[in-house]
Structure formats: C-alpha cells, structure tokens
C-alpha cells in the first residue's frame, strides 16, 4: 500500500465518514469513500456526488514505463531510488472523476522531482529548444497546505481533436476546469505515451519559450522524439494542443 494511504489518520477517516453523510452540506459520495477504502487513489475533493466515484483506471503499465526508462534513477533531484521502492510510491489504480469521462481519458504520471534535463534523457528526446528556458503559465498543483506537489496523477486529452488549430485559439476555448500541459508534463509523454506521439505531435500550451512561442513534442516516424517550438498563432495539421483537468490526484 502506498505512503498516501499509510499517512491517513483516524481523524481523517472520521472526517471522511462525516462527509459521506447526505445531511451534511457538500457531502462526498459513499461510492467515493468505498473506492478510497478499497485502496484506489481518488480525487481529493470527492467530486460528482450524485454519479458515484468514477471509473477505476489501472496505471501499472505507466509506472513500469517510468521504471523502464530509468526515471527512478534520477528521481528526488538525482538522488536515485531502487525500482521496487519507486514502484511503491505510486498506486496501481486511480479513480477518474466522472466529469472528466470522454474529456480527459488519458492518464499521466508526473514526477516533478526529476530535473528537466533528466526527463529529456529518459525520454531520449532531441532538443530544439532548451526546456530550462521555458516559462509555465499554469499554476503548479499544490497540496491542501499550499505546498507544491512533487508527484501527481493527471487526466488529459492528447490534442488529437485540436489538430490544425492554433495554440492561442485552443487556450481561448478551454473550459473553466481545463488547463494546458506544461513543459515538465509534456516531457513525460515520450516516456509514457510514445504511440500518441507517433500518431501526431502534441502542443504544450501551458508553457512558452523566451519569445513567447508555445512548445511541442512529436515523434512520428523519426528515430527519436523531438521537443521544440511548435507555434502559437498558426495551426498545424500534424499537431494539436493537449490539456488536462485542473484537478489532479496528489501522490506526494
């Protein structure tokens, strides 16, 4: 069982029980609570109380992809970790919020303790832009106390529906609960979602380079994936803007 569950106190369990009482304003669903007790990592806010807990998604293959690409060797700012130890950090399953179904159906594991240069190396990517010079315009996901999350699970759409649309246009039409992927998230794609990048390039609308151009990552038929400037005001039939739900599942 992951550390997330080991840290749950009796007081938190009592609070969860109180929040499942339908007489309490803002109560979470009992299905959400049952999923939590069954060991699934669930959204912190227990959303969609009427519809239940949401779809349970197995993410074990993504964890193994991270390990196969050596992410465990460069995690914690390069301090390294054994594969078995790294595997235990992540849950085997997560619960997708109901309102994300058919909107954000891909899962992305994000480890922000890995330096960008190390992510590039793990994904064997060719750089056309220095990711360290890119600036994010999406707030970093945080804990309840405001501290930045170091690892989290995000639900995203891969940009296929946005091909041939400019990044600028996509950002203007994002839903209130939708944000563009940022550089670190985009650099996790070659590690976990190579087939997507073989099919089409992914614009990363949550970050910009020094000249305020959006970034993108693609692979296609090339030997290696590439990361660089994708564009902003012009669409590309081979690229589309990827986005995620603004709510993520905290891991650490």
pLDDT digits (tens, 9 = 90+) for 189-205: 999 999 999 999 999 99
Instruction: Give mean pLDDT, residues 26-35.
Output: 54
Instruction: Give the sign of the dihedral formed by CA 156, CA 249, CA 57, CA 177.
Output: negative
At residue 30, the pLDDT reads 55
Rounded Cα distance, 44 and 40, in Å: 12
Q: How many domains does the chain have?
A: 1
pLDDT tens digit sequence for 106-121: 999 999 999 999 999 9
pTM: 0.81
Q: What are phi and psi of 135, to 5 degrees?
A: -115, 130
Rounded Cα distance, 180 and 158, in Å: 11
Average pLDDT, the chain: 85
Residue in 115, 119, 104 with CA at minimum distance from that of residue 55? 104
Q: Which domain holds residue 15?
A: 3-250
Which of the four pLDDT bands, split at 50, 70 and 90, describes residue 32?
Answer: low
């Amino acid at each position: 069982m992951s550390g997330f569950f080991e840290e749950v106190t009796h007081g938190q369990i009592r609070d969860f029980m109180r929040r499942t009482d339908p007489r309490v304003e803002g109560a979470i669903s009992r299905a959400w609570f049952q999923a939590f007790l069954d060991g699934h990592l669930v959204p912190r806010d227990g959303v969609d109380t009427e519809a239940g807990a949401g779809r349970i998604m197995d993410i074990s293959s993504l964890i193994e992809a991270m390990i196969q690409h050596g992410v465990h060797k460069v995690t914690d700012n390069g301090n390294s970790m054994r594969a078995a130890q790294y595997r235990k950090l992540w849950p085997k399953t997560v619960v997708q919020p109901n309102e994300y179904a058919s909107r954000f159906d891909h899962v992305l594991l994000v480890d922000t303790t890995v330096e960008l240069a190390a992510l590039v190396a793990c994904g064997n990517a060719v750089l056309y832009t220095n990711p360290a010079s890119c600036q994010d315009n999406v707030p970093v996901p945080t804990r309840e106390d405001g501290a930045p999350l170091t690892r989290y699970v995000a639900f995203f759409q891969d940009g296929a529906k946005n091909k041939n649309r400019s990044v600028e246009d996509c950002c203007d039409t994002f839903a209130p609960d939708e944000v563009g992927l940022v550089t670190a998230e985009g650099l996790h794609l070659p590690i976990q979602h190579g087939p997507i990048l073989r099919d089409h390039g992914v614009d990363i609308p949550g970050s910009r380079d020094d000249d305020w151009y959006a970034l993108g990552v693609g692979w296609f038929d090339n030997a290696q994936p590439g990361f660089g400037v994708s564009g902003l005001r012009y669409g590309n039939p081979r690229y589309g803007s990827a986005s995620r739900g603004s709510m993520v599942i905290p891991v650490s």
